[in-house]
Each structure stands twice: as C-alpha cells, then as structure tokens.
Structure 1
Amino acid sequence: MRTRTIPLVRLITHFHHPTPSPSFSLRRTPPPSAAFSALSPHLSAVLLPHIAQTRVSAMSTTADDTRSDDDHIVDFSLSPNCSLKIQKGDITRWFVDGSSDAIVNAANERMLGGGGVDGAIHRAAGPKLREACYEVPEVSPGVRCPTGEARITPLPASHVIHTVGPIYDEDENPEALLESAYRNTLSVAKENNIQYVAFPAISCGVYGYPFDEAASIAISTVKEFANDFKEVHFVLFSDDINDAWLEKAKQIVRTEGLADST
C-alpha cells in the first residue's frame, strides 16, 4: 500500500470579506502572494436557482432524532447550540445564507474536478470554480491538497472546502487520514468563521471506504467541534450510506452524550 504522511504545517486560504482577492498563507512561514479570480455572475446564475429550492438550514433544529415527511432530515443535538443534520440529497443544492456556510468537496489531490461529488460540484459551479482551484498553489507537482488536508475557495454557498480522503485499499492507515480530512476541514471552516457546513460521505464512493467505519470516524470527529458551529450537515447520495450515518449517529451522539452528562 502507498504511504502518505500528514504534514505538520497546513496550507490554508484566508478570505477577508468584502475584499474580492483572498490570499494564501503558510503557517509560521511568510505568506506567498496569490489571488482568486472573482466569481462571475454565471456562477450565481447556475447555482442559486437550484439552492434556493433547498433552504436546508430553515428546517427546525429543536427536535432530536425526528424525521419530517417533507424534508427527510434527521436532527441530532450535539450541544445546546449545535445540531447535526443527516439527509439523503444533492449537496450541490445545499445552501443557507451565502455568507456563513460552506459545502465540503470530496476532491482529489489535483483539485481540478473528478468523479462523484467532486464532478457534480464542478459541473454545478461551472468553469469559475476550476479557475479558482487553479490559483491554489501546488505543494508538490500536481498536488494542491494532499490527502487528509483541506483548502477553501469561494462559491455562492459562501465557500467550498476541498479535502482529499484516503483510498481505502491503497493508502496506509486510512483511518487516520480520513479523520484528518474531517478534522482539517472543520478547522478551516472555523478559521473562516463558517457557522453552517455540509459534508458528503468522504471516501465512500470510488475510494471504497466501508460505510459503517467512515460514518463512525465522521460523526466522532464532528462531535469534537460541537461548540464551534451552529449546524453540521451530512448530505448523502444513497440510501445505504444515509442509513449507515443515521445508525452511527444514534450510537455515538446519544451514547457519548449520556456519558458526558454523568
């Protein structure tokens, strides 16, 4: 199996709204100059008519583990101020307010589009997202986002955070890499003042990660950030993945919640 190490220093893109040109900086290193192209009106025209149909955050966050016949979202309370929401759906149509929300793209290391969720997000966003991704500096030839790390680019749903999950049967220690992908994504979201974040099932497509194991890692890691976000969503593309996430959420959120309260 291939060995991929998790670097100790992460490259993070910082956005200072309303300035249209974000900059890249390397922690503990003088920041190199780089800028994203401004997103064109075409990008909003492509995404906003779709995401307006799915105002996910408008769903109630007060009910614990209740399913609405209309929205098919199951809510779990991670903390008094944070809800975990799980649903089957199309993540490219997810949207909250366009300023404090982010969707997570299960990308590849090149960050230029691919199959599955990655391809769907790039198709919905159009060429400007690819142009923005081109502006992310390569950390090695052909690699903009090493496995287990995260990068952020702008989009009408506030931002897209790109992360690369492990290939289950090829990468050494896929558990640590998958946890790192979730942890680094949540850290980037927190650093950029994101309050609402939506994840796909990272590595559960062509990368072959077993659904139950992936769900356990995802939900356990998200729970550690319960005080940092208002809502964390999992927008999942199939019934079997959705079922795996729901089952693990019932086990982890409730069991650990009871343990924490004693």
Structure 2
Amino acid sequence: MKIEVNQVALECRVGDIAAQSDIEAVVNAANAELMPGGGVAGALHARAGRELAKACAPLAPISPGEAVLTKGFNLPNAYVIHTLGPVYGRDEPSEELLAHCYRQSLKVAENQGIASVAFPAISTGAFGYPLVSGAEVACRTVVSMVPELSHVRLVRFVMFDERAHEVFSEKLQQVAE
C-alpha cells in the first residue's frame, strides 16, 4: 500500500526490516542500552555486525521516546535510527511516548538529510502496545510530521506479518484522507 501526502510517499509492506536495501535509514525498536535483543533489535544487530553494538555503547542509555543515530555498518542502509518505545502499562503517558518515537526519529532523519526511512511497529511486540492503537499513533504522528519534512521523501512501515500490515495500511489510509 502506498499513498502520497504533500510529495512524501507513505508505504506499508510486509517484510524484513533488516533487508530494506532501497531505504537510507531503518529505525530500530531498541532497548534502553541499544544492545542486541529480540525482534527488530536482534535482526538489525545480527545483520549489521558487531560494529553496531560498539557504535551504540557510548550513546546508551536512552529513554522512552528518544532517538539516536548510528551508521548501518553491514546493513544495506547507510544509517540506523534507534528509538526506545514505551512498555505498555508501565511507561506513561504511553501514547505520547510512542508518538515521540516516530517524531524524534523523523527529526533525526531530517537533521541528517536522510531521504528515506523505514519504521517497524514500535512497541507492539515484546513491549505489549496494542497493535491497533499503536498503528493509529504511528500513522497519525507520521502524517502530522509531513509538512515539516524537507529531506525525507519516503516513509515506509515494514511489518513482520500480514495482520500488522493490514492494520497499519488501514490506519494510514484513514489518517491520510
């Protein structure tokens, strides 16, 4: 699914976040220490190699909603933007913190002059954020940021499975209308 808002392409697809070879920066749903873990962080660190963890170490710890930048190393992407999503039911206000992840990640991309960014469904896995409300926050936040984007021309949501893809596609169409 692909739509355009103010000359910024917004996409949603099923795939592997660590295999987005046409994207300049991928977003890591990181842990506070920015180290390898499960899910997105595990996939990105495994593909990027040990250099990624070494580059992350001096940037940690980060707080929920914060975003930091490293090189992509062995990933097919020049950069990784690491953001810490809220743990649902613990980090409050969770909706505001989740929106901040997307907002800060896009600001990091803009400041670096990055043209394309791929996001996972931040916090909706092990951190327990409900998929439907997480998708709504993500899509609403990204669409609201479009007028502030001068470098970023493509934002892609990369979903691990078809269910998440359907939910994100539906929410993206709703908020972009």
What's the TM-score once normalised by structure 2's chain length?
Answer: 0.93
Structure 1 residues 1-262: aligned runs within 5 Å: 74-79=1-6, 81-96=7-22, 101-136=24-59, 138=60, 143=61, 145-155=62-72, 156-227=76-147, 228=149, 229-254=152-177
Question: What is the aligned partner in structure 2 of residue 259 from structure 1?
Answer: none
- Superposition CA RMSD, Å: 1.2
How far 1:135 sits from its partner (Å)? 3.0
Could you tell me how far apart the structure 2 residues matched to 1:252 and 1:203 are? 20
Aligned length: 171
| Structure 1 counterpart SS, 2:145 | coil
Could you tell me how far apart the structure 2 residues matched to 1:238 and 1:247 are? 15
How far 1:225 sits from its partner (Å)? 2.5
Which protein is bigger by CA-based radius of gyration? 1
Task: Name the amino acid aligned to 1:150.
Answer: A
Could you tell me how far apart the structure 1 residues matched to 2:93 and 2:58 are? 30
Gaps spanning 5+ residues in structure 2: where? none
How far 1:77 sits from its partner (Å)? 1.1
Could you tell me how far apart the structure 2 residues matched to 1:95 and 1:235 are? 12
Could you tell me how far apart the structure 2 residues matched to 1:225 and 1:234 are? 15
How far 1:232 sits from its partner (Å)? 0.3
What's the TM-score once normalised by structure 1's chain length?
Answer: 0.63
Gaps spanning 5+ residues in structure 1: where? 1-73, 255-262
Which structure has more relative contact order (CA 8 Å, sep 6+)? It is: 2
Q: Answer 1 or 2: which has greater helix percent.
A: 2
Question: What whole-Å deviation, never above 9, does each CA across 1:210-246 have from its counterpart, x for those lacking one?
Answer: 1111111111111123241211000110111111101
Identity percentage over the alignment?
39
Task: Name the amino acid aligned to 1:75.
Answer: K
